[in-house]
Amino acid sequence: MAIDYKTAGVDVEAGYEAVKLMKKHVAKTLDNNVIGDIGSFGGLYQLPTGMKEPVLVSGTDGVGTKLKIAFAMDKHDTIGIDCVAMCANDIVCQGARPLFFLDYLATGKLDPKVAALIVKGISDGCIQSGCALIGGETAEMPGFYQPGEYDLAGFCVGMVDKANIISGAEIKEGDVLVGLSSSGVHSNGFSLVRKVLGDDAESISVYSNELGMTIGEELLKPTKIYVKDALKAINGASIKGISHITGGGFVENIPRILNDNLSAVIDTDSYPKLPIFDMLVKQSGISKQSAFNTFNMGIGMVMCVDKNEADKVCNLVDGYIIGEIVKGEKDVKLK
């Protein structure tokens, strides 16, 4: 008997069906700068005009083991938002406006309906970020992934005028840190989350009075996309530095915008707490320092501004004054 591609485990017809189902979601993200349509070998995007020295800013990331929660809950329509958020939130930290996004979806056996739901989430994330989904790759890799599982990653490109790049170079002692609230755990720390709360359907389907929903529903809340708030702050005030609180929490991400002789002091009681973090800290037994070195702890983005502009920025982005800059050794001090 002859062995063809379908016999080997790759169903090209499923791929065609997936693309067909994806197209309506992709179309929602397209703007006047997109050239061509889905299906070309490369995504074409005409750069906007109006900048003296335009600089492209790029970022790539994945969703991590949060995917395990999506598998267990059999819910796939929001995980794409996480994928976009992880990339778009990073590049806006440099002051860049996201322009376009590409995704990579790999699975053992392609389910067109699941793939379309994933892309719907990516489309929703792109709309929230104000960028176009101009291409991607769907890879069917039999024998490489467990049945019903997949991996998801993305790549985002934005643009900023060279004179307006936000680098943190102007941050000085006495500046203030403004925090923007997170929607939950976002997409980091899930290896610990799964160890503590579980990642099978039985464990995470348990209803929690503390959370007001099942554990799985709480954990699958999509990562908040801060692009529009960040651009509003950038256009309305003088933002010296922006830190996306992702893997490594406060402890690793805030120092990325600091000069060598500066530190950040964070008042951990300065903003509302989310019950999921109290649950994780209590059930894991980790220290306060470790918690702030692992999770976003309720703050997903931090902006550094002059103290005279702190209230203005808080009003623009519905933020909280959570700390200040002091002399130090490029670290984070919690109080």
Residue at 5 is within a domain: no
> Between the CA of residue 125 and those of 29, 66, 212, 303, what are the distances in Å?
9, 17, 25, 22
User: In which domain, by residue range, is 28 found?
Assistant: 12-164
Average pLDDT across each block of 10 residues of the chain; the chain has 335 residues. List them in order.
Answer: 68 81 91 85 93 98 97 97 98 98 96 96 98 95 94 98 97 98 97 96 96 97 98 97 97 96 97 96 96 98 97 96 97 96
Give the global pTM.
0.95
Is 184 in the same domain as 42?
A: no
Residue at 2 is within a domain: no
Predicted pLDDT of residue 5: 65
> Smallest Cα–Cα separation from 172: which of 245, 256, 241?
241
**Nearest-angstrom CA–CA distance, 158 and 169:** 21
Is 292 in the same domain as 253?
A: yes
The residue among 120, 140, 164 that closes a domain is 164
The residue among 134, 164, 194 that closes a domain is 164
**Nearest-angstrom CA–CA distance, 119 and 140:** 15
The residue among 114, 134, 164 that closes a domain is 164
Is 155 in the same domain as 231?
A: no
CB contact set of 2 (below 8 Å; sequence gap of 6+): none
Helix (H, G, I), strand (E, B) or coil at 90: helix
Count up the domains in the chain and report the number. 2
Predicted pLDDT of residue 1: 62
Predicted pLDDT of residue 12: 76
140 by Cβ neighbours in 10 Å (0-12 / 13-18 / 19+) ranks as buried
Predicted pLDDT of residue 36: 82
CATH code where residue 194 lies: 3.90.650.10
Residue at 170 is within a domain: no
Predicted pLDDT of residue 112: 95
